[in-house]
Amino acid sequence: MNIDALVPSSIDGLMLGFVYGLAAMGLTLIFGVMRVINLAHGPVIALGMFAVYLIGTQFGVNPYLGLIAVLVLGLVLGIVMYFVAVHRVINAPELTTLLATFSVNLMIIGLGTVVFTTTPRAIDMDLGAFRTGAITILGTKVVAVLIAIAVTVGLYLFLYRTRVGKSIRAVANNRAAAELMGINTTGVLALSFGIGIMLAMTSGGLIATLFSFTILAGGVYELKSFVIVVLGGLGNPTGALVGGIVLGLLEGLTTIFMPVGWVPIIEYGVFVLILLIRPTGLFGAR
């Protein structure tokens, strides 16, 4: 037990938590709006990693600028995914949509393995670091936190200050009534799914600036996302950021007191505990 490591570890965990939160935001949005559990969440995050990497290596574009392209790419991909895999089964029992999104998961992994192989890739980004005593804060992590915050604020403003954003919340609340108001609910669902995928891919792009990755790398973030969705409240996107920070902090603290391999066990323990006590999540809206 190293108390000296407490501060650096907590800071590391906290900063990563912002990125975790961003990763989970898309998952919780999709679930909140259309009650669909997107099991393709992980592979989509990995696609975001590759997108930023390829834009960087093929076109020589700075990864942070590449993120903008990834935002657009994610939105388009999400809308396509909605119409291909989700639209027709959206009123079917939840198991059907689970299977539909899971099959997309398998397709992305399968195709991705063939195209990219599982050779690890990495983006070489050095933005210096801020050091004091035992604490080192990498520049890339700071930028990642700032971008995560910016995206969260952007999402919040969109959902609460724009008409389209409010119509998304309306559809999430009561789809039939929204239809009666003249809102094209199918369009709204497609857009929401698109935004969810966009958020996941963007978080992937950010993660790629921090760690090496393969097409399988999204899996671990998908699992963390489920825990965060439950922590932050099902369907509550800004709650996801809070949930992510909590999880990151939890990870940072846990690694000090026990072998690092135990961290996932602790996380899932928390996940199950919260589901038992408050099924709608700690900050659950519903």
Partner 1 sequence: MIAMDVKEIESGYGEVQILWGVSLQLQEGHLTTLVGSNGSGKTTLLRTVMGLIPAWKGTVNFDGQDVTRLSPHTRAQMGLVMIPEGRQLFTDLTVMENLEMGATPGRARAGFQRNVEWIFDLFPRLEERVRQVAGTLSGGEQQMLAIARGLMSNPQILMLDEPSLGLSPLLVLNLFEVIRRLKEQGHTMLLVEQNVQMALAVSDYAYVLSNGRIEIEGEAKRVREMESVRKAYLGL
Partner 2 sequence: MRKLVFLALVVALIASLGVACGPVAAPTPTVKRVLVGFTASQTGKLNKESKEQIQGLQLWLEDVKKAGGIKLKDGTMLMPEIKFYDDESLTDRVQALYTKLITEDKVDFLISPYSSGLTQTAAVVAEQYGKVMITTGAASDTTMEQGFKTIFQIYTPASRYLTGAVDLLQKLDPTAKKIAFVYEKERFSTDVTTFAQKYAKEKGFDIVLFEGYDTATTDFAPFINKIMPPKPDAIMGGGHFTDGTTFAKQLYEKKVPVKFVAILVAPPEPAFVEIGDAAQYVVGPSQWEPLARYSPESAKAAGLPWYGIGVADFTSAYKTKYGYEPSYHSAGGYAAGLIFQKGLEEADSVDAEKVKTALDRLDLLTFFGHIKFDTAAKTHGKQIGHEMVYVQWQKDAAGKLVKPVVWPLEGKSADAQLRKQ
Contacts with partner 2, residue ranges (CB under 8 A): 2-5, 8-9, 12, 16, 113, 117-120, 122, 129, 131, 134, 136, 138, 210-214, 216-217, 220, 251-252, 255-256, 259-261, 263
- Residue 85 in contact with residue 101, Cβ under 8 Å? yes
State the nearest-atom distance from the C-beta of 172 to partner 2, in Å: 34
User: Given the complex with partner 2, which of 2 and 184 has the nearer CB atom?
Assistant: 2
User: Given the complex with partner 2, which of 15 and 155 has the nearer CB atom?
Assistant: 15
Neighbours of 132 (CB within 10 A): 7
Which residues in 111-127 are b (16+ Cβ under 10 Å) and which e? ebeeeeeeeebebebee
State the nearest-atom distance from the C-beta of 6 to partner 1, in Å: 40
CA distance 165 to 171: 10
How far is C-alpha 93 from the geometric centre of its chain's CA atoms? Answer: 25
State the nearest-atom distance from the C-beta of 211 to partner 2, in Å: 4
User: Given the complex with partner 2, which of 120 and 187 has the nearer CB atom?
Assistant: 120
CA distance 53 to 204: 10
The listed partner (partner 1, partner 2, none) that binds 122, CB under 5 to 8 Å by sort, is: partner 2
The listed partner (partner 1, partner 2, none) that binds 217, CB under 5 to 8 Å by sort, is: partner 2
Question: Which residues ranging from 164 to 193 are in contact with partner 1 (CB under 8 A)?
Answer: 166-167, 169-170, 172-174, 176-185
Neighbours of 192 (CB within 10 A): 25
Backbone phi, psi, residue 218, to 5°: -70, -20
State the nearest-atom distance from the C-beta of 212 to partner 2, in Å: 5
Rg (CA), the chain: 19
Instruction: List interacting residues with partner 1 (CB under 8 A).
Output: 163, 166-167, 169-170, 172-174, 176-185, 285
